[in-house]
Amino acid sequence: MASNVQNPFIPKEFYESYEPYTYRARDFFIGFLVFLVIFINYIITLTPSVAAGDHGELATTTYALGAPHPSGYPLFAILGKFFSYLPFGNVAYRVNLMSAFAGAFTVFVFFMFALKILGIVRKPTIVRDREGWDLKIYVPAILASLMLGFSNLLWNQSIIGEVYSLNSLLNGLVLIALILWYEDVAFGYYHYNKPYLGTRYLVLLFFLMGLSLTDHHLSAGYIIPISVIVVVLIFSALYGKVKFSWGDLLTAKGGVIIGFLLSLLIAIVVFYFMGWAPRRPLNMTEAITITLIPFLPISFAGIVWWLYPERDEDVWIKDLMRVSFWALVFFLLPIFVFYGYLLIRSIAIYNMPEAEIRVLTWGEIRSLDVLWTHILRKQYGALGGVPVYYSFLQLWEMIKLHLSQFHILLYLLLIPGFIGLFKKDINFSVSLVFIWFTFLLLFSLFIQGEPVARSVAFWSVFLLQSYFIMALVIAQGMQTTMDWVQELISKKE
């Protein structure tokens, strides 16, 4: 049943004129061809054995099912073990091949994500022939995908056994889950009278965000801004459909909201001060506490979902707690499973009779405190201790790195790209820009050391997920420019 409520965040005019892009079989076929072109190129240029840096250690620990250096990268290690069973090449080559596959798959994911954006219809100004072969959808998506696949950094990281191409793939999947959930909530708002929170896609989104953290902690640069977006979107989904006043803060439903937010805040604060903040290895008390503290908001949401009375006017409370429960559970599930693997495997290796086997794992992770010390990279020291103005200098280095990935003429498409994105959907476009710039800001604060060439060369590999978004804006710039040219030709005729 359609709703008559107006939402200032998702105006009814938007709902009535907006048509999201729906994937077709041909999209997956074209995406596979793009994947194949990039994958073959990566195979041809693949490093034949061990390269410099961490590659030898990662290949060795992956083959032995050991623990790589902090933060452990368990997802990379487990997937790499499967690739190590391939019947050709040496072990290092097989692990390198996994990076090539992840890099090419990243391009496939980018192509599918670009189609979602480029295929948006906003009647009457933006209309696409989505039943036929609309060149203004496919040409920019294909060209931008190839541009990303042949970019300097993705190519470089996809031909060696490193974690960054897999990290880029996971964060691309996170963005697809985000837009699927966003569109689901936007259309559900006016399709249902009751609040619609899009549980399926939201749980998928949180699962993928948790999974991405098991490859590299860089994903936090996406997770933090996306979490803010999730809160805003949930609020917009409840807006106008939920009767709530300041006086309700003293009622049961007000207590539930305050209680859940408080439990979530306590979990975050405890994890920060007992886990992230200490500039030393963690002790067992701290390790146990930060392991159990996430179950405080999970338990609170689960108990309320189970016990809160069934009342039509407050059914949104149960729905909100149900969504929160499953989102948090599926966010933590891959983190506990894959990082727990490091602990279990390290204990197994330590108990092997061959003493030399132990060198195949990084440290002796045989207890929870050592595991968390490893995950939180305490061996590398704490953040901070460098002048604040270094962050601004690092931002300037980031700008220069961004301008070095693609041909200089392609950056002219950024302006029509932003114009086209905001014209199609200002809500999601603002969200995308917010994710992009928040990631860069957080990353600039994360970087340690002086902004000199040696330091820049070290951390430049961390920017892959930023180039993913920039390539999308360029793709939209291609489409917007094609629209402008078509309008100009039509006027002359």
Query: Which pLDDT score, from 0 to 100, does residue 63 have?
Result: 86
| Angular region, 365: left φ>0, alpha ψ -120 to 50, beta rest | beta
Residue 223 identity: I
Whether the predicted pLDDT of 282 surpasses 60: yes
**pLDDT tens profile 24-34:** 999 999 999 99
Q: What is the pLDDT, as a whole number, of residue 1?
A: 44
pTM above 0.85?
Answer: yes
Q: Quickly list DSSP for 182-200.
A: HHHHHHHHHH-SS----HH
* 19 beta partners: 121
Task: Summarize pLDDT for 89-127 with one digit per residue, the tens.
Answer: 899 999 999 999 999 999 999 999 999 999 998 888 888
pLDDT category, 493, cuts 50, 70, 90? Answer: low
Mean pLDDT, to the nearest integer, of 246-274?
A: 88
User: Could you give the C-alpha distances from 441 to 8, 165, 491, in angstroms and in order?
Assistant: 29, 21, 44
Contact 110, 144 (CB under 8 A): yes
Would you give the DSSP letter of residue 377? T
- How far, in Å, CA of 248 to CA of 66, rounded? 53
Output the CA–CA distances (angstroms, integers) from residue 315 to 187, 259, 266, 329, 338, in the order listed. Answer: 20, 17, 26, 21, 36
Residue whose tokens read 């194949």: 36
Domain regions of the chain by residue span: 257-379
Predicted local confidence at residue 389, as pLDDT: 62
pLDDT at 490: 80
Residue 406's pLDDT is what? 86
Radius of gyration of the CA atoms of the chain, in A: 24
User: 11 to each of 3, 14, 18, 116, how far by Cα in Å?
Assistant: 12, 5, 11, 21
Query: Is residue 313 exposed (0-12), middle (13-18) or buried (19+ Cβ within 10 Å)?
Result: exposed
According to DSSP H, which parts of 52-198 are helical? 55-63, 74-83, 91-118, 135-149, 152-157, 164-191
User: Helices 55-63 and 74-83 meet at what angle, rounded to 10?
Assistant: 70
Among the listed ranges 188-192, 263-267, 351-355, which one has the minimum average pLDDT value?
Answer: 351-355
SS3 state at 18? strand
Asked if 263 and 349 count as a contact pair (C-beta separation under 8 A), the reply is no
Question: How many CB atoms within 10 Å of residue 176?
Answer: 18
**Number of other residues whose CB lies within 10 A of the CB of residue 408:** 8
More confident residue, 242 or 269: 269
- pLDDT band at 422; cut points 50, 70, 90: very high
Instruction: Report the 3 state secondary structure along 420-485.
Output: HHHHHCHHHHHHHHHHHHHHHHHHHHHCCCCCCHHHHHHHHHHHHHHHHHHHHHHHHHHHHHHHHH
Amino acid at 14: F
